[in-house]
Amino acid sequence: MQPFRPPEPKPPRLTGIANLFRSMRNLGMFGGPVGHDQLEHFLADDGQSIPVQVMGHGSPVVLVHGLGCSHRHWMPVAKRLARAHRVYAWDARGHGQSVPLPGIPITLKRLASDLRQLLDHFALERAVLVGHSMGALTVMQYLQDQGTARVAGVGLIDQSPRIVTDDEWRLGLFGGCSAAMLEGLIRGARKDLAETVLHEIEAKAGDWLRPRLAADATLGALLRRWLHRIDATSLLDLAESLTAADFRASLPRLDAPLMVVLGQRSPHYAGVPLDAWYRKAVPHATVTVYARGEHSPHYSEPARFASELMQFIAEHA
């Protein structure tokens, strides 16, 4: 068996153009709450209103979305789960319909505290917590901070326990993305969000679009004026906390059932043997790699994911 050789480190690209704009919309960068779904709300201890889609009946399952997503990302799965479970899917603060309070940093620990307060508000004592990407890190942070007393089971989707890499850890983003690289990207966005975002767009743009994004082009000037009006400080605080997160020591101590789903074609982790790490670190885990799955295998194959999650809950939780 050939040893795993990680790809050479390279400047990370966040996403494709369509996904970038969709993520920015879900992050509230287009001027107001996203969508018109009738959601329930609870108040966090700092006064932040957090919307939650609640549906179905049965044992509780809490769905925690990723960065730049919202509760809607879970709906294809949630509607299937709701046939047998009471499902809770929130908009994390700063996402979807959850407009962040000014001056209050959004961090991973803050999201984990919000998750605990969701359980408090709905009086959930034995819930299955399922997180995708950033949501998986939120669940890991909750488990590290709060333990498993109120947790019947855990689901983690396409996420490493530590997203940055170094000489001793090559199982983070792209198999080679150092803290310095991500910190540089965040620092650039703090200094000039417009140029950082447009740099991402230009990296994916074709020959027709690229010249139109220049500073002296009409479209480029319009986008720069719009982006310069956005205060992304709280979201950059969140990105910084994700970069610092490390759950490699706490996950092996997990004493709750664990289901891990990874996408073999994930733009973040393709070719990175996270499945082997999870199987070794948490021997009781159920680990599945979706051969056609990208970073959101639950979204591209919702029927399969919902069926396997319900089976996991029935057998283990």
Q: Using 50, 70 and 90 to split pLDDT, how confident is the model at 204?
A: low
Q: pLDDT tens-digit profile of 221-263?
A: 777 776 666 667 778 899 999 999 999 999 999 999 999 999 9
Residue 194 lies in a domain: no
The answer to the question of residue 211 being in a domain is no
Domain for residue 57, yes or no? yes
Mean pLDDT of 151-161: 98
Answer whether residue 223 is part of any domain: no
Domain that holds residue 63: 31-172+246-316
Residue 303: phi and psi, rounded to 5, are: -65, -45
Per the domain annotation, does 61 fall within a domain?
yes
CA distance to 47, 156, 191, 237, per residue, from 102 (Å)? 11, 31, 19, 13
- Whether 148 maps to a domain, the answer reads yes
Return d(Cα 61, Cα 48) in angstroms, integer: 22
- Number of structural domains the chain divides into: 1
Q: Do 155 and 131 meet the contact criterion of CB atoms below 8 Å apart?
A: yes
Specify the pLDDT at position 190: 82
pLDDT value, residue 227: 65
* Nearest-angstrom CA–CA distance, 309 and 315: 10
User: What are residue 132's DSSP bridge partners?
Assistant: 157
- Closest by CA to 14, choosing from 141, 156, 163, 137, is 163
Convert the pLDDT of each residue in 168-193 to its tens digit.
999 999 999 999 999 988 888 888 87
CATH number, residue 309: 3.40.50.1820
Contact call for residues 226 and 198 (beta carbons, < 8 A) = no
Residue 186 is assigned to a structural domain of this protein = no
* 154 occurs within a structural domain: yes
- Quote the tokens at residue 214: 């220049």
